Structure 1
Amino acid sequence: MTNCLFLSMMLIGFCTSCYSQKESTVLKVLTYNIHYGVGMDAEKNLKRIAQVISELDPDLVGLQEVADSAMVASLAQMTNMLGVFGASTEKEPPNLFNLLGIPIPKEQLHYGDGILSKYPFRYIGNLSIPSASSSRYEAMCIEVDIDSEGSAQKKVRFITTHFDYLETIGSHAARKASIEVIEKAFVEDSLETAYILTGDLNATPNSDVLKLLGLRGWAQEDLGNKLYTVPSPSPSKQIDYVLVRPKSAWRIIDIVAVEEGQASDHLPIFMTLAPVSDR
């Protein structure tokens, strides 16, 4: 399999307070497909997205369907967090221009995913993942050091991604192949690293995609809560996730689908968890 390597990235930092290590061992994680800031009223309103994020006050945020680095920069500024953008390139000219209300440029629009963090982080990378549709998808990863229970520090790799969306044999195979690409690129052969995977996986909890992720060690937890995320505002299924690995490295405190049905066509998933020092 040939992987298209890192295309472009931009680090954006706005607040000096982000650079001090948090003392709390509780970690709050959000995954959010923001639909380029376009809400269910067809209005582009990035402040609305930022308000959802700020009210939840997460430590780490995985964003999908981000238009460009400027959008990540704006969200980082409005939420007082650090940000990084991971670009992806469409196989065909993207259908975002009318949606965003911008002129069609001569060059293709770069879009992708983004990560926001209250922690200073090391940027691990951004790479394309398999796709059978006209869209190009990618995965990106950062690494942070956080305090675990027992005051020891733990290295955490935080990954966000967006899998292919079609209900075709090719797209289904692409989603499963994407798991192996992420495994090879971002998962270390080390017991000292814990992982969080966030994203729009375009697959339901009982799908072969989630089963394969489980075989690779990614733990799915709902704590008995209904985590439907699409279609907003009245979702009927879950395709957005926060997964952890290994399960023994984490204590899951809470996980919910946030009932905000206007800012995007997806509901965000919000998890509260704590790293466990002794596995």
Structure 2
Amino acid sequence: MKKAFPYALLTFLVSSLLFHGYSQSSPTQIKILSYNIHYGVGMDAKKDLERIAEVINRFDPDIVGLQEVSDSLMVATLSELTNMNGVFGASTEIEPPNLYRLLGIPVPTAQLFYGDGILSKFPMQFIGNLSIPSASSSRYEAMCVDVDFSSKNKKKALVRFINTHFDYLESIGSKIARKASVEVIEKAFVHDSTDMPYILTGDLNATPMSDPLQLLEKKGWINENQGKELLTVPVDIPTKQIDYVLIRPKEKWRVIDVVVIEEDRASDHRPILMTLELL
């Protein structure tokens, strides 16, 4: 005769399985793209925002840090083409600079509208946009939003996302400006007391062993390359990395993958894609 399976034991086993399945929900996974889009102008000298959007759509990121954006209209166009929310961060004055006024010269469009942008599939709150130090004729900025990824995994997930573009020259002044930019971003947007996870994307115009990257790591930013060389420029045959996705603090994140996308036509930089788990 078969023995009856104890009802109490059966109840315990079922309850344990249900508890295990519902109490340990999977971490929120986030895909981040950092992309200097060169104003939409590709290596064939053609301006083609649809081509930039195709690159973004192909890899389906949750959030994108864009550098070298012409104006807010460009962000709006890419927002529509990618079906993502968009925000523009201006690097230059909207009013004509005094030099142009004094000389009576028409202000170049590039001086009126220039900056960076952020695209996101998820709701974001604009925190700020500010100028950062520059020793070149160009002007640079850093922008910040708080992104709510809660709907992605049905649990609270708020992330601070910073996007920037550092000075590009190899002069002493520009080298100092890049390090000073780190300090400006830290003071303006980073508040570790909030216990918030952070992501920073950008064209930092600095290699991984340079002073600005060493300073960022000293501040707590993590440059995870998974043992790979993440070479982003020149776009045809890359020899160095100047584009990044950085994270902090370490205990909030697990890096699943990070790659440079093999795209050599749409811009003069290759984009970098990182997949993360928010722990």
Same-fold call, TM cutoff 0.5:
yes
Question: Given the alignment of the two structures, is residue 82 of structure 1 paired with residue 85 of structure 2, yes or no?
Answer: yes
1:30 maps to 33
Output the CA distance in 2 between the equivalents of 1:57 and 1:81. Answer: 10
Output the CA distance in 2 between the equivalents of 1:130 and 1:51. Answer: 33
Question: Given the alignment of the two structures, is residue 62 of structure 1 paired with residue 65 of structure 2, yes or no?
Answer: yes
- CA drift at 1:88: 1.2
Matches within 5 A, 1:90-169: 108-147=111-150, 152-169=155-172
Aligned-residue sequence identity (percent) comes to: 65
Contact 2:28 2:153 in 1 (8 A): no
Secondary structure of the structure 2 residue equivalent to 1:26: strand
Q: Give me the CA root mean square deviation.
A: 2.4
| Aligned counterpart in structure 1 of residue 231 of structure 2, from 225, 228, 232 | 228
Deviations 1:183-222 (A, max 9, x none): 0111114252010000000000011110000000000011
For these two proteins, the number of residue pairs brought into alignment is 246
| Aligned counterpart in structure 1 of residue 50 of structure 2, from 43, 47, 51 | 47
Output the CA distance in 2 between the equivalents of 1:42 and 1:156. Answer: 36
Output the CA distance in 2 between the equivalents of 1:80 and 1:234. Answer: 31
- CA drift at 1:225: 2.1
Misfit runs of 4+, over 2 Å: 90-94, 103-109, 145-152
Which runs of 5 or more residues in structure 1 are unaligned?
1-22, 95-102
Question: Given the alignment of the two structures, is residue 170 of structure 1 paired with residue 178 of structure 2, yes or no?
Answer: no
TM-score, normalised to structure 2, is 0.83
Residue 114 of structure 2 aligns to which amino acid in structure 1?
Y
Deviations 1:125-172 (A, max 9, x none): 100000000110000010012349997523210000000000011000
Residue 161 of structure 2 aligns to which amino acid in structure 1?
F
Contact 1:92 1:134 in 2 (8 A): no
Secondary structure of the structure 2 residue equivalent to 1:144: strand
Output the CA distance in 2 between the equivalents of 1:249 and 1:31. Answer: 20
Contact 1:24 1:147 in 2 (8 A): no
2:200 maps to 197
Output the CA distance in 2 between the equivalents of 1:269 and 1:106. Answer: 29
Specify which structure has the higher proportion of helix: 2
Which runs of 5 or more residues in structure 2 are unaligned?
1-25, 101-105
Contact 2:70 2:110 in 1 (8 A): no
Deviations 1:72-102 (A, max 9, x none): 00000000000000111177999xxxxxxxx
Contact 1:251 1:275 in 2 (8 A): yes
Residue 232 of structure 2 aligns to which amino acid in structure 1?
T
Secondary structure of the structure 2 residue equivalent to 1:270: strand
2:13 maps to none
